[in-house]
Amino acid sequence: MNTSLSKVLVSLSFMGSLSLASCQSEGEVKRQQYVAEGFELYKSSCMNCHQANGEGMAKLYPPLAKSDFLTEKNKALVICGIRHGFDKPLTVNGQVYHQTMPGNSALKALDIAVLTTFLYNEWGKEKKITEVQEVEKALATCP
């Protein structure tokens, strides 16, 4: 999808969200905002390897869509991986991936919260916000 079309679609989606905002709870509006902002971070930081549809790239980069890795149990590990990367093999859906994933130490806890919210709402079967406090707690325990 070209950049201009992508921006138009995001704008239309946001305008549609605004018109529905009066019918939605404050928490739901915040969740939608996190998802939209997380999508923008995903496009700039993750999409090259994990692809627009989250299906990964062949046997180089693991899928996020239909992934057995994006679970509540692994959420702290995902958060740590976003910040610090992964340098050990990961097994996703029975496939071992050896490619190193670089971390992004420039991302603040709020950035990681919105990105994680997007990932888990899009492909992790969640419909809730990953709160900044949860990210900070996970980051404090990263290996």
**Consecutive H or E run containing 36:** helix 26-45
35 pLDDT tier (thresholds 50, 70, 90): very high
Two structure tokens written together for 68 = 């057995």
- Of residues 20 and 83, more confidence is placed in 83
CA distance 97 to 81: 14
CATH number for the domain harbouring residue 95: 1.10.760.10
Please tell me the total count of domains within the chain: 1
Say whether pLDDT at 12 is over 50.
Answer: no
Domain residue limits at 134: 3-140
Yes or no: say if 44 and 32 are a contact pair by the CB < 8 Å rule. Answer: no
pTM: 0.83
